[in-house]
Chains A and B, each alone.
Chain A
Amino acid sequence: MSFRILGTGSAAPKFTLTNDQMAEIVETSDEWIRQRTGIGSRRICKDENLLDLSVRAAEEALASAGVRPEELDLIICTTLRGELITPNHACLVQERIGASCPAFDINVACTGLLYALDIADCYFARGKTKKILIVAAEEMSSIVDWTDRSTCVLFGDGTGAVVLGEGDGLRAVTVHAEGNREVLYIPRGEGKLFDGTVVGEPCCVKMDGGEVYKFAVNAMTTGVQKVCEEAGISPSELDFVVPHQANLRIIKAAMSRLHLPMERAFVNIESYGNTSSASLYIALDELVRSGKLERGMNVALTAFGGGLTSGAALFKW
Protein backbone atom coordinates (compact mmCIF):
# COMPACT_ATOMS: atom_id res chain seq x y z
CA MET A 1 0.00 0.00 0.00
CA SER A 2 1.34 3.35 -0.95
CA PHE A 3 -0.34 6.72 -0.60
CA ARG A 4 -2.16 9.45 -2.39
CA ILE A 5 -2.37 13.20 -1.83
CA LEU A 6 -5.63 13.91 -0.03
CA GLY A 7 -5.30 17.67 0.30
CA THR A 8 -3.01 20.65 -0.24
CA GLY A 9 -2.62 24.11 1.26
CA SER A 10 -0.31 27.09 1.11
CA ALA A 11 0.16 30.47 2.71
CA ALA A 12 2.45 33.29 1.62
CA PRO A 13 3.19 36.54 3.45
CA LYS A 14 1.08 39.59 2.53
CA PHE A 15 3.99 41.91 1.84
CA THR A 16 5.05 41.92 -1.81
CA LEU A 17 8.47 43.18 -2.85
CA THR A 18 8.46 44.04 -6.56
CA ASN A 19 11.45 44.10 -8.90
CA ASP A 20 11.21 47.90 -9.02
CA GLN A 21 11.49 47.99 -5.22
CA MET A 22 14.44 45.54 -5.46
CA ALA A 23 16.12 48.06 -7.78
CA GLU A 24 16.11 50.55 -4.90
CA ILE A 25 17.96 48.05 -2.67
CA VAL A 26 20.63 46.78 -5.11
CA GLU A 27 21.72 47.80 -8.60
CA THR A 28 19.33 45.84 -10.80
CA SER A 29 16.20 46.34 -12.90
CA ASP A 30 12.84 44.74 -13.54
CA GLU A 31 13.92 43.86 -17.08
CA TRP A 32 17.19 42.23 -15.97
CA ILE A 33 15.49 40.10 -13.30
CA ARG A 34 12.58 39.04 -15.53
CA GLN A 35 14.79 38.10 -18.47
CA ARG A 36 17.13 35.93 -16.44
CA THR A 37 14.72 34.43 -13.91
CA GLY A 38 11.06 35.01 -14.82
CA ILE A 39 10.52 36.59 -11.39
CA GLY A 40 8.34 39.70 -11.10
CA SER A 41 7.94 39.96 -7.32
CA ARG A 42 8.39 37.95 -4.14
CA ARG A 43 6.58 37.77 -0.79
CA ILE A 44 8.42 38.68 2.40
CA CYS A 45 7.61 37.85 6.05
CA LYS A 46 7.20 41.37 7.32
CA ASP A 47 3.73 41.47 8.84
CA GLU A 48 3.47 37.86 10.04
CA ASN A 49 5.78 35.15 11.34
CA LEU A 50 6.79 31.90 9.71
CA LEU A 51 4.99 29.68 12.21
CA ASP A 52 1.62 31.44 11.76
CA LEU A 53 1.92 30.96 8.01
CA SER A 54 2.94 27.29 8.37
CA VAL A 55 -0.08 26.64 10.60
CA ARG A 56 -2.37 28.35 8.07
CA ALA A 57 -1.02 26.18 5.25
CA ALA A 58 -1.34 23.02 7.39
CA GLU A 59 -4.92 23.82 8.42
CA GLU A 60 -5.86 24.56 4.81
CA ALA A 61 -4.40 21.21 3.67
CA LEU A 62 -6.17 19.32 6.48
CA ALA A 63 -9.48 21.02 5.64
CA SER A 64 -9.18 20.23 1.93
CA ALA A 65 -8.29 16.61 2.79
CA GLY A 66 -11.17 16.32 5.27
CA VAL A 67 -8.72 15.07 7.90
CA ARG A 68 -8.79 16.12 11.58
CA PRO A 69 -5.43 16.91 13.27
CA GLU A 70 -5.98 14.14 15.81
CA GLU A 71 -6.08 11.59 12.97
CA LEU A 72 -2.47 12.36 11.97
CA ASP A 73 0.14 9.63 12.49
CA LEU A 74 3.17 11.74 11.53
CA ILE A 75 4.20 15.34 10.78
CA ILE A 76 7.29 16.05 8.68
CA CYS A 77 8.44 19.61 8.15
CA THR A 78 10.83 20.57 5.35
CA THR A 79 12.77 23.73 6.17
CA LEU A 80 16.20 25.27 5.88
CA ARG A 81 15.62 27.02 9.18
CA GLY A 82 12.47 26.99 11.30
CA GLU A 83 11.48 29.50 13.97
CA LEU A 84 13.75 27.87 16.56
CA ILE A 85 16.68 25.44 16.59
CA THR A 86 14.69 23.38 19.07
CA PRO A 87 11.83 22.51 19.29
CA ASN A 88 11.83 21.63 15.62
CA HIS A 89 9.29 23.39 13.41
CA ALA A 90 7.15 20.26 13.01
CA CYS A 91 6.63 20.13 16.80
CA LEU A 92 5.67 23.82 16.85
CA VAL A 93 3.09 23.20 14.10
CA GLN A 94 1.86 20.10 15.95
CA GLU A 95 1.31 22.11 19.14
CA ARG A 96 -0.69 24.75 17.30
CA ILE A 97 -2.94 22.44 15.25
CA GLY A 98 -3.49 20.09 18.19
CA ALA A 99 -2.14 16.83 16.78
CA SER A 100 -0.66 13.97 18.80
CA CYS A 101 1.91 12.07 16.75
CA PRO A 102 5.66 11.97 16.01
CA ALA A 103 6.96 15.19 14.42
CA PHE A 104 10.35 16.01 12.95
CA ASP A 105 12.11 18.33 10.49
CA ILE A 106 14.25 17.46 7.50
CA ASN A 107 16.60 19.82 5.73
CA VAL A 108 17.20 18.89 2.11
CA ALA A 109 17.08 22.50 0.89
CA CYS A 110 14.74 22.96 -2.09
CA THR A 111 14.36 19.18 -2.59
CA GLY A 112 12.58 18.76 0.78
CA LEU A 113 9.16 17.65 -0.48
CA LEU A 114 10.57 14.80 -2.58
CA TYR A 115 12.61 13.45 0.33
CA ALA A 116 9.56 13.79 2.59
CA LEU A 117 7.45 11.84 0.07
CA ASP A 118 10.13 9.14 -0.05
CA ILE A 119 10.10 8.89 3.77
CA ALA A 120 6.28 8.83 3.75
CA ASP A 121 6.38 5.97 1.26
CA CYS A 122 8.41 3.93 3.78
CA TYR A 123 6.00 4.75 6.64
CA PHE A 124 2.97 3.73 4.59
CA ALA A 125 4.76 0.53 3.49
CA ARG A 126 5.14 -0.43 7.18
CA GLY A 127 1.35 -0.57 7.31
CA LYS A 128 0.80 1.26 10.60
CA THR A 129 0.43 4.77 9.18
CA LYS A 130 -2.86 6.09 7.81
CA LYS A 131 -2.38 9.88 7.59
CA ILE A 132 0.72 12.07 7.23
CA LEU A 133 1.03 15.86 7.17
CA ILE A 134 4.03 17.35 5.38
CA VAL A 135 4.65 21.07 5.89
CA ALA A 136 7.16 23.43 4.30
CA ALA A 137 8.31 26.58 6.06
CA GLU A 138 10.85 28.79 4.34
CA GLU A 139 11.88 32.32 5.24
CA MET A 140 14.59 33.00 2.68
CA SER A 141 14.43 36.76 3.28
CA SER A 142 16.23 36.24 6.60
CA ILE A 143 19.10 34.28 5.02
CA VAL A 144 19.92 36.16 1.84
CA ASP A 145 22.67 38.74 1.50
CA TRP A 146 20.69 41.90 0.68
CA THR A 147 23.84 43.47 -0.81
CA ASP A 148 24.47 40.62 -3.31
CA ARG A 149 22.39 41.44 -6.38
CA SER A 150 23.14 38.08 -8.00
CA THR A 151 21.28 36.15 -5.27
CA CYS A 152 18.96 38.40 -3.23
CA VAL A 153 16.62 39.02 -6.17
CA LEU A 154 15.96 35.28 -6.55
CA PHE A 155 14.32 34.29 -3.28
CA GLY A 156 11.05 34.75 -1.44
CA ASP A 157 9.21 33.44 1.63
CA GLY A 158 6.37 30.96 1.73
CA THR A 159 4.81 27.91 3.32
CA GLY A 160 2.83 24.97 2.03
CA ALA A 161 1.41 21.66 3.16
CA VAL A 162 0.14 18.34 1.83
CA VAL A 163 -1.86 15.66 3.61
CA LEU A 164 -1.26 12.07 2.55
CA GLY A 165 -3.49 9.06 3.10
CA GLU A 166 -3.44 5.40 2.09
CA GLY A 167 -4.09 4.81 -1.57
CA ASP A 168 -2.36 4.14 -4.86
CA GLY A 169 -1.67 7.65 -6.19
CA LEU A 170 2.11 7.44 -5.95
CA ARG A 171 3.55 5.62 -8.94
CA ALA A 172 7.25 6.28 -8.32
CA VAL A 173 9.58 8.46 -6.28
CA THR A 174 13.33 8.93 -6.56
CA VAL A 175 15.79 10.97 -4.52
CA HIS A 176 19.45 11.66 -5.09
CA ALA A 177 22.40 13.47 -3.53
CA GLU A 178 25.90 14.26 -4.66
CA GLY A 179 27.68 15.94 -1.76
CA ASN A 180 29.13 19.28 -2.83
CA ARG A 181 30.00 22.07 -0.39
CA GLU A 182 31.05 24.80 -2.80
CA VAL A 183 28.34 25.25 -5.41
CA LEU A 184 25.44 26.24 -3.14
CA TYR A 185 25.71 26.73 0.60
CA ILE A 186 24.53 28.75 3.59
CA PRO A 187 26.86 29.09 6.61
CA ARG A 188 25.14 28.56 9.96
CA GLY A 189 26.00 32.07 11.17
CA GLU A 190 28.48 33.69 13.49
CA GLY A 191 28.99 32.71 17.11
CA LYS A 192 31.28 33.71 19.97
CA LEU A 193 33.92 31.59 21.70
CA PHE A 194 34.50 31.70 25.49
CA ASP A 195 37.02 34.51 24.98
CA GLY A 196 34.78 36.60 22.76
CA THR A 197 36.45 35.57 19.48
CA VAL A 198 33.89 35.66 16.66
CA VAL A 199 33.81 32.40 14.71
CA GLY A 200 31.88 31.29 11.67
CA GLU A 201 30.48 33.27 8.75
CA PRO A 202 27.28 35.30 8.43
CA CYS A 203 24.28 33.15 7.58
CA CYS A 204 23.46 33.95 3.95
CA VAL A 205 23.08 32.17 0.63
CA LYS A 206 26.26 31.64 -1.43
CA MET A 207 25.79 30.33 -4.91
CA ASP A 208 27.73 29.60 -8.09
CA GLY A 209 24.83 30.29 -10.47
CA GLY A 210 26.34 28.67 -13.56
CA GLU A 211 27.15 25.38 -11.85
CA VAL A 212 23.75 25.27 -10.11
CA TYR A 213 22.07 25.86 -13.48
CA LYS A 214 23.89 22.90 -15.04
CA PHE A 215 23.14 20.60 -12.11
CA ALA A 216 19.51 21.74 -12.02
CA VAL A 217 18.72 21.15 -15.68
CA ASN A 218 20.36 17.71 -15.68
CA ALA A 219 18.86 16.66 -12.34
CA MET A 220 15.30 17.74 -13.15
CA THR A 221 15.43 16.04 -16.54
CA THR A 222 16.90 12.75 -15.37
CA GLY A 223 14.63 12.68 -12.29
CA VAL A 224 11.48 12.91 -14.40
CA GLN A 225 12.83 10.36 -16.88
CA LYS A 226 13.61 7.96 -14.03
CA VAL A 227 10.18 8.06 -12.38
CA CYS A 228 8.48 7.71 -15.77
CA GLU A 229 10.65 4.68 -16.55
CA GLU A 230 9.86 3.10 -13.16
CA ALA A 231 6.15 3.62 -13.72
CA GLY A 232 6.39 2.29 -17.27
CA ILE A 233 5.24 5.45 -19.05
CA SER A 234 6.90 7.81 -21.48
CA PRO A 235 7.47 11.46 -20.43
CA SER A 236 5.20 12.37 -23.35
CA GLU A 237 2.32 10.83 -21.37
CA LEU A 238 2.75 13.37 -18.56
CA ASP A 239 -0.19 15.75 -18.24
CA PHE A 240 1.62 18.11 -15.87
CA VAL A 241 5.14 18.64 -14.62
CA VAL A 242 5.34 20.66 -11.40
CA PRO A 243 8.95 21.78 -11.17
CA HIS A 244 10.77 23.51 -8.30
CA GLN A 245 10.32 27.21 -9.05
CA ALA A 246 13.92 28.43 -8.97
CA ASN A 247 14.30 30.00 -12.37
CA LEU A 248 12.03 30.06 -15.43
CA ARG A 249 15.01 29.51 -17.71
CA ILE A 250 15.94 26.30 -15.85
CA ILE A 251 12.34 25.07 -16.16
CA LYS A 252 12.30 25.86 -19.89
CA ALA A 253 15.63 24.11 -20.46
CA ALA A 254 14.47 20.99 -18.57
CA MET A 255 11.12 20.87 -20.39
CA SER A 256 12.90 21.22 -23.71
CA ARG A 257 15.20 18.29 -22.86
CA LEU A 258 12.14 16.22 -21.92
CA HIS A 259 10.63 17.15 -25.31
CA LEU A 260 7.57 18.53 -23.55
CA PRO A 261 5.77 21.78 -24.38
CA MET A 262 5.94 24.52 -21.72
CA GLU A 263 2.13 24.41 -21.40
CA ARG A 264 2.54 21.18 -19.44
CA ALA A 265 4.77 22.80 -16.82
CA PHE A 266 3.02 24.52 -13.95
CA VAL A 267 4.83 27.79 -13.34
CA ASN A 268 4.10 30.47 -10.72
CA ILE A 269 7.59 31.83 -10.12
CA GLU A 270 6.53 35.25 -11.42
CA SER A 271 4.81 36.16 -8.16
CA TYR A 272 6.83 34.20 -5.56
CA GLY A 273 10.46 33.84 -6.63
CA ASN A 274 12.31 30.82 -5.26
CA THR A 275 10.78 29.84 -1.91
CA SER A 276 13.14 26.85 -1.46
CA SER A 277 11.28 23.68 -0.45
CA ALA A 278 7.95 25.55 -0.19
CA SER A 279 7.92 26.25 -3.92
CA LEU A 280 6.68 22.81 -4.96
CA TYR A 281 3.91 22.78 -2.35
CA ILE A 282 2.68 26.25 -3.37
CA ALA A 283 2.76 25.33 -7.07
CA LEU A 284 0.99 22.02 -6.46
CA ASP A 285 -1.64 23.72 -4.29
CA GLU A 286 -2.32 26.33 -6.98
CA LEU A 287 -2.53 23.64 -9.66
CA VAL A 288 -5.00 21.63 -7.57
CA ARG A 289 -7.12 24.71 -6.87
CA SER A 290 -7.04 25.78 -10.53
CA GLY A 291 -9.30 22.80 -11.28
CA LYS A 292 -7.05 21.70 -14.18
CA LEU A 293 -6.19 18.35 -12.59
CA GLU A 294 -8.48 15.49 -13.48
CA ARG A 295 -8.61 12.02 -12.04
CA GLY A 296 -6.21 9.66 -13.82
CA MET A 297 -3.81 12.37 -14.99
CA ASN A 298 -0.06 11.73 -14.78
CA VAL A 299 1.59 14.43 -12.67
CA ALA A 300 5.35 14.62 -12.11
CA LEU A 301 7.07 16.66 -9.40
CA THR A 302 10.76 17.48 -9.75
CA ALA A 303 13.23 19.51 -7.71
CA PHE A 304 16.88 20.19 -7.03
CA GLY A 305 18.70 22.11 -4.33
CA GLY A 306 21.66 22.56 -2.03
CA GLY A 307 23.48 19.37 -1.13
CA LEU A 308 23.53 19.02 -4.02
CA THR A 309 20.26 17.11 -3.87
CA SER A 310 17.50 16.31 -6.32
CA GLY A 311 14.40 14.19 -6.61
CA ALA A 312 11.27 13.46 -8.59
CA ALA A 313 7.93 11.80 -8.02
CA LEU A 314 5.14 10.60 -10.28
CA PHE A 315 1.46 10.50 -9.28
CA LYS A 316 -1.59 9.07 -10.95
CA TRP A 317 -4.01 11.76 -9.83
Chain B
Amino acid sequence: MVFEKVRKILADYKEIDESAIELTSTLEDLEFDSLDTVEVMMSIEEEFDVQLEADENIKTVEDLVKLIEANIQ
Protein backbone atom coordinates (compact mmCIF):
# COMPACT_ATOMS: atom_id res chain seq x y z
CA MET B 1 0.00 0.00 0.00
CA VAL B 2 2.76 2.43 1.01
CA PHE B 3 4.81 1.33 -1.99
CA GLU B 4 1.93 1.95 -4.42
CA LYS B 5 1.45 5.49 -3.12
CA VAL B 6 5.17 6.22 -3.12
CA ARG B 7 5.46 4.85 -6.66
CA LYS B 8 2.68 7.16 -7.80
CA ILE B 9 4.27 10.22 -6.12
CA LEU B 10 7.67 9.47 -7.67
CA ALA B 11 6.19 8.78 -11.10
CA ASP B 12 4.05 11.95 -11.05
CA TYR B 13 7.01 14.06 -9.98
CA LYS B 14 9.32 12.81 -12.72
CA GLU B 15 6.48 12.36 -15.23
CA ILE B 16 7.49 8.77 -15.90
CA ASP B 17 5.53 5.52 -16.05
CA GLU B 18 4.85 3.86 -12.68
CA SER B 19 6.00 0.54 -14.09
CA ALA B 20 9.52 1.98 -14.37
CA ILE B 21 9.70 2.13 -10.56
CA GLU B 22 10.53 -1.00 -8.54
CA LEU B 23 11.23 -1.42 -4.84
CA THR B 24 14.86 -2.03 -5.74
CA SER B 25 15.17 1.06 -7.97
CA THR B 26 17.64 3.56 -6.62
CA LEU B 27 16.68 7.23 -6.56
CA GLU B 28 19.84 7.86 -8.55
CA ASP B 29 18.68 5.46 -11.30
CA LEU B 30 15.41 7.39 -11.42
CA GLU B 31 17.46 10.59 -11.80
CA PHE B 32 16.45 12.14 -8.48
CA ASP B 33 19.08 14.52 -7.14
CA SER B 34 19.15 15.66 -3.49
CA LEU B 35 16.65 18.48 -4.05
CA ASP B 36 14.25 16.23 -6.00
CA THR B 37 14.41 13.84 -3.03
CA VAL B 38 13.51 16.62 -0.58
CA GLU B 39 10.71 17.71 -2.89
CA VAL B 40 9.11 14.24 -3.01
CA MET B 41 9.66 13.86 0.75
CA MET B 42 7.44 16.93 1.16
CA SER B 43 4.74 15.34 -1.01
CA ILE B 44 5.08 12.12 0.97
CA GLU B 45 4.77 14.01 4.28
CA GLU B 46 1.50 15.53 3.04
CA GLU B 47 0.17 12.25 1.65
CA PHE B 48 0.91 10.17 4.77
CA ASP B 49 0.65 12.98 7.34
CA VAL B 50 4.11 12.20 8.77
CA GLN B 51 7.29 14.18 9.46
CA LEU B 52 10.39 12.75 7.78
CA GLU B 53 14.02 13.67 8.40
CA ALA B 54 15.97 14.11 5.18
CA ASP B 55 18.51 11.30 5.39
CA GLU B 56 21.47 10.65 3.12
CA ASN B 57 21.14 6.89 3.68
CA ILE B 58 17.97 6.75 1.63
CA LYS B 59 19.19 5.24 -1.61
CA THR B 60 16.38 3.02 -2.88
CA VAL B 61 12.60 3.19 -3.13
CA GLU B 62 12.52 0.42 -0.54
CA ASP B 63 14.51 2.61 1.91
CA LEU B 64 11.92 5.30 1.43
CA VAL B 65 9.01 2.90 1.99
CA LYS B 66 10.63 1.54 5.18
CA LEU B 67 11.20 5.06 6.50
CA ILE B 68 7.53 5.93 5.94
CA GLU B 69 6.32 2.68 7.52
CA ALA B 70 8.51 3.33 10.59
CA ASN B 71 7.03 6.81 10.92
CA ILE B 72 3.39 5.75 10.44
CA GLN B 73 3.56 3.30 13.35
| B54 partner residues in chain A, CB cutoff 8 A | 208, 210-211, 214
Chain B: number of interface residues, binned into ranges: under 10
Interface string of B18-35 (1 = CB under 8 A from A): 000000000000000111
Query: From residue B62, how far is it (CB to closest CB) to chain A in Å?
Result: 20
* Set A208, A209, A253: member contacting B39, Cβ < 8 A: A253
Measured CB to CB, the nearest residue on chain A to B33 is A36
Chain B residues near A218: list those with CB within 8 A: 42
Could you give, for residues 193-217 of chain A, a 1 whenever the CB lies within 8 Å of some chain B CB and a 0 otherwise? 0000000000000001111011001
Q: Could you tell me if A35 and B42 are in contact, using CB atoms closer than 8 angstroms?
A: no
Chain B residues with CB under 8 A of A210: 34, 37-38, 41, 54
B41 adjacent to A249 (CB under 8 Å):
no
Are the CB atoms of A209 and B34 closer together than 8 Å? yes
Using a CB-CB cutoff of 8 Å, which residues 33-71 of chain B contact chain A?
Answer: 33-35, 37-39, 41-42, 54
Given contacts A210-B54, A211-B54, contact A249 B35 (CB under 8 A): yes
List CB contacts (< 8 Å) of A224-264 with chain B: 247, 249, 253
Q: Which residue of B lies closest to A250 (CB)?
A: B35
The CA-CA distance from A211 to B38 in the complex, in Å, is: 8
Could you tell me the distance between the alpha carbons of A98 and B35 in the complex, rounded to whole angstroms?
Answer: 47
Which residue of chain B is the closest to A249 with respect to CB atoms?
Answer: B35
Dominant secondary structure at the A interface: helix
Is A213 in contact with B38, judged by CB distance below 8 angstroms? yes
- B38/A214 in contact, CB under 8 A: yes
Partner of B42 from the list A36, A209, A214, A249 (CB cut-off 8 Å) is A214
Q: Determine if A35 and B33 form an interchain contact, defined as CB atoms under 8 angstroms apart.
A: yes
**Closest A residue to B45 using CB positions:** A214
Who on chain A is nearest to B56 by CB?
Answer: A210
- Distance in angstroms from B53 CB to nearest chain A CB is 8
A214/B41 in contact, CB under 8 A: yes
Bound-state Cα–Cα, A89 to B32, Å: 43
Write out the residue numbers on chain A whose beta carbons fall within 8 Å of the beta carbon of B41.
210, 214
Q: A210-B54, A211-B54 are in contact. Are A36 and B38 (CB under 8 A)?
A: no
- In the assembly, what is the distance between CA of A2 and CA of B38, in Å? 39
Complex Cα distance, B37 from A213, in Å, reads: 11
B29 CB to closest chain A CB (Å) equals: 17
Identify the interface centre among A36, A210, A213, A217: most chain B CB within 10 Å of its CB. A210
- A-chain residues with CB within 8 Å of residue B39 when the two chains form the complex: 213, 217, 249, 253
A208 to B41, CA, bound (A): 15
28 A-B pairs with CB atoms under 8 Å apart are: A35-B33, A36-B33, A36-B34, A36-B35, A208-B54, A209-B34, A209-B35, A209-B38, A210-B34, A210-B37, A210-B38, A210-B41, A210-B54, A211-B54, A213-B35, A213-B38, A213-B39, A214-B38, A214-B41, A214-B42, A214-B54, A217-B39, A217-B42, A218-B42, A247-B35, A249-B35, A249-B39, A253-B39
Interface set of A (CB-CB < 8 Å, partner B): 35-36, 208-211, 213-214, 217-218, 247, 249, 253
